[in-house]
Amino acid sequence: MSAERIAERPATAGVQYVEVGAERAGQRLDNFLLGQLKDLPRPHVYRILRTGEVRVNGRRAKPDYRVQAGDQVRLPPLQRAPASDRAAPPPGLMGEIAGRILYEDDRLLAVNKPAGLAVHSGTGVAYGLVDVLRALRPHCPDLNLVHRLDRETSGCLVVAKTRADLLLLNRAFANRACGKVYMALTAGHWAQPHTVLRQALDVAHREQGERTVRVDDAHGQAAVSRFQEVERLPGASLMRVAIDTGRTHQIRVHASAAGHALAGDDRYGDRDFNRRMARLGLRRLALHAAELLLPLGDGKPLRFKAPLPADLTQILAALRTSTPDA
């Protein structure tokens, strides 16, 4: 029997009560709900949390509340599409993602995410990478993302197959025990081949209703990015970026604040540089998660590597024969 069960009490007008099982204790409420309501769009789950329609033991609770064994979670009446009406990932995409799996065992799966594919379904997004992986591995009901990549970022991404391993890896990321290395194409030439940026980031800042991260050493969260020059190109630089923290848009904001915005960045980028890159054929953010090191606490850490994708290697080839003002 599942540890989460509908409590033996009447459900009124579609209201349901879910009892938290012992193995879910300590999980954030929003993540608990996302696991319970996998067929609902992510924004919908956060909306019912924000409006107070979800209650824990009869009280409103914030998304970051840590559920406890025995908690009674009230779910409001939810309009769910029949299973036959839900968008299923197309077979072609499932085949592509199956061919991008870098590593798999009974605990986790690592995949080389393509640019342009969101990690989650949501508003205007019928299915995300995690939906594709769940369709590929229907025997893994607890399959969940350990971390995230922006939609336009390609590269290494890991999902856990069990609740225990999800918690283990979440702690490893929170404790900065995981190694993360990206490749980024940036504007101009850096003054030093190796630059460490320690600038706090305000990830809650909003401009015109949208979350826009900015450097704010007074109120932001600590963030460290280590930029290492790999190749100096006409008017641009290919950089290896190791991050000690994993703040939202961290590399993009740090690079922009340093005067070397990422190519193809339509939020923090350099408009003239982006136009030049577009003329060379760039159609997305030039950021790729190249390496990921995971400590699992039972021996040698796992290291995953994803080669630079064809679209970015083609841009580099075009840059090498271009002029800075092309």
Q: Which residues are catalytic?
A: 150
Cα 286-291-295 angle, rounded to 5 deg: 145
For the chain, the C-alpha Rg in angstroms (whole number) is 21
Half-sphere exposure of 85 (CA within 13 A, CB side): 5
Cβ-contact 186, 204 below 8 angstroms: no
C-beta separation of 254 from 225 below 8 A:
yes
Largest Cα separation within the chain, whole Å, is 72
Of residues 65, 70, 66, 63, the one with CA closest to residue 17: 70
Inter-residue contact 286 to 263 (CB < 8 Å): yes
CA distance 158 to 130: 10
Two structure tokens written together for 315: 């841009």
Please, are residues 201 and 218 in contact by the beta-carbon 8 Å criterion?
no
- The residue ranges of DSSP E strands in 38-140, in sequence order, are 55-56, 59-60, 72-75, 101-104, 108-113
